[in-house]
């Protein structure tokens, strides 16, 4: 993908200097440690063209609320029907969480391949349509203090920074905090996920009051985490909150 002009629905954007500076730094690292594709492990590129073209992108028509592919006549899908007006305006995701994207996000999250975040963020930037998903502030879904200590970095925070730098948006990772450690959501039912993360977040009014927030995460499964985060952001005075994720569970 060309670096200077990034084509997306809102028109091309020029990445912020911070993103370009990191790209230069990563290029130096690549000279010393040639990258492997995060999707297929082939040597040479960080995320190869073959893997990028095999992503299962999520395109319109989608459910107005959850962003899952849906009947264009329906407006909202069957799962979202009757759902009350929540703090979360809706969710949009770039591609299904499978194949090379699953491999790449695993690499980013568990194998400390932090450079990969800027490459993957290009997919967020390219598919972000400001008309469909309005926002002027990017806030990543935070990790608990305990999880952050264990992992050393927040993968959603790295993706949020790359996305914000590419789209000329502000990014405030400190605006949303996870106030308690929650059990892993893996293997829990939709209902159990909601209970697990309810009131686990706290937002800073000084950072989010009056702002249209894009709450960013790596993967969306049931949306429970995004809803809980959005409730905290709305309580702190955010004007609107949209969830945006790179991957989406089938
Ligand atoms: Zn590949
Ligand atoms: Zn839906």
* Residue 218 belongs to some domain of the structure: yes
Tell how far the Cα of 45 is from the centroid of ligand 1, in angstroms.
8
For residue 36, the ligand closest to its alpha carbon is 1
Tell how far the Cα of 100 is from the centroid of ligand 1, in angstroms.
7
For the chain, give the longest Cα–Cα distance: 55
* Residue 19 belongs to some domain of the structure: no
Beta carbons of 91 and 242 less than 8 angstroms apart: yes
What pLDDT does residue 198 have? 82
The DSSP output letter for 13 is: B
Q: What is the CATH number of the domain that holds 136?
A: 3.40.50.2020
**Which residues contact residue 138 at a Cβ distance below 8 angstroms, ignoring those fewer than 6 apart?**
160, 163, 164, 169, 170, 171, 172, 213, 214, 216
Q: DSSP string of 38-104?
A: TTT--BS-SS-HHHHHT--B--SSB-TTT--B--TTTSS-TTTTT----S--EEEEEEES-HHHHHH
Tell how far the Cα of 176 is from the centroid of ligand 1, in angstroms.
34
Question: Could you give the CA distance from residue 4 to residue 12 in angstroms, rounded to a whole number?
Answer: 9
Specify the higher pLDDT residue, 111 or 2. Answer: 111
* Residue 22 belongs to some domain of the structure: no
Tell how far the Cα of 55 is from the centroid of ligand 1, in angstroms.
11
Tell how far the Cα of 63 is from the centroid of ligand 2, in angstroms.
5
159-185 pLDDT tens trace: 999 999 999 999 999 999 999 888 888
Q: Which residues, in sequence order, are bridge partners of residue 170?
A: 137
Q: Is 198 helix (H, G, I), strand (E, B) or coil?
A: coil
The DSSP output letter for 142 is: P
Tell how far the Cα of 107 is from the centroid of ligand 1, in angstroms.
12
For residue 84, pLDDT over 90 is answered with: no
For residue 190, pLDDT over 90 is answered with: no
User: Could you list which residues have their CB under 5 Å from ion ligand 2?
Assistant: 63, 65-66, 77, 80
Question: Could you give the CA distance from residue 63 to residue 172 in angstroms, rounded to a whole number?
Answer: 28
Tell how far the Cα of 3 is from the centroid of ligand 1, in angstroms.
20
Work out the average pLDDT over 187-201. Answer: 84
* Residue 15 belongs to some domain of the structure: no
* Residue 150 belongs to some domain of the structure: yes
Work out the average pLDDT over 5-19. Answer: 72
For residue 125, pLDDT over 80 is answered with: yes
Give the CA count within 13 Å in the CB-facing half-sphere of 232. 23
What pLDDT does residue 192 have? 85
31-53 pLDDT tens trace: 998 999 999 999 999 999 999 99
Percent of the chain with pLDDT over 90: 75
For residue 53, the ligand closest to its alpha carbon is 1
Q: Count the Cβ atoms, other than its own, within 10 Å of residue 60.
A: 10
| Number of domains within the chain | 1
pTM for this entry: 0.92
Q: 186 is in which domain, residue-wise?
A: 27-248
56-71 pLDDT tens trace: 999 989 999 999 999 8
* Residue 180 belongs to some domain of the structure: yes
Question: Could you give the CA distance from residue 150 to residue 146 in angstroms, rounded to a whole number?
Answer: 6
Supply the mean pLDDT for the chain: 91
For residue 116, the ligand closest to its alpha carbon is 1
Question: Could you give the CA distance from residue 113 to residue 155 in angstroms, rounded to a whole number?
Answer: 10
Tell how far the Cα of 226 is from the centroid of ligand 1, in angstroms.
30
| Helices 17-32 and 116-127: angle between axes, nearest 10 degrees | 140
Tell how far the Cα of 52 is from the centroid of ligand 2, in angstroms.
26
Percent of the chain with pLDDT over 70: 94
* Residue 174 belongs to some domain of the structure: yes
* Residue 119 belongs to some domain of the structure: yes
Tell how far the Cα of 121 is from the centroid of ligand 2, in angstroms.
24
């Amino acid at each position: 993908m060309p670096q200077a002009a990034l084509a997306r629905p809102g028109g091309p954007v020029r990445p912020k200097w911070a993103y370009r500076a990191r790209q230069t730094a990563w290029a130096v690292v690549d000279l010393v440690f040639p990258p492997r594709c995060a999707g297929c492990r082939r040597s040479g590129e960080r995320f190869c063209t073959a893997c990028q073209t095999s992503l299962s992108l999520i395109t319109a028509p989608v459910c107005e609320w959850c962003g899952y592919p849906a009947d264009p006549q329906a407006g909202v899908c069957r799962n979202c029907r009757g759902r009350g007006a929540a703090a979360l305006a809706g969710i949009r995701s770039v591609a299904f969480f499978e194949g090379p994207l699953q491999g790449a996000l695993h690499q980013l999250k568990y194998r400390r391949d932090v450079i990969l975040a800027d490459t993957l963020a290009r997919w967020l930037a390219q598919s972000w349509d400001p008309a469909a998903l309005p926002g002027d502030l990017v806030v990543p879904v935070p990790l608990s203090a305990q999880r952050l200590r264990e992992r050393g970095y927040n993968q959603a925070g790295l993706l949020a920074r790359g996305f914000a730098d590419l789209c000329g948006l502000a990014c405030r990772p400190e605006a949303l905090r996870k106030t308690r450690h929650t059990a892993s959501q893996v293997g829990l039912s939709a209902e159990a996920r909601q209970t697990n993360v309810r009131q686990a977040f706290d937002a800073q009014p000084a950072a989010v009051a009056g702002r249209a927030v894009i709450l960013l995460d790596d993967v969306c499964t049931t949306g429970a985490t995004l809803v809980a985060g959005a409730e905290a952001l709305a309580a702190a005075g955010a004007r609107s909150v949209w969830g945006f994720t790179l991957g989406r569970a089938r």
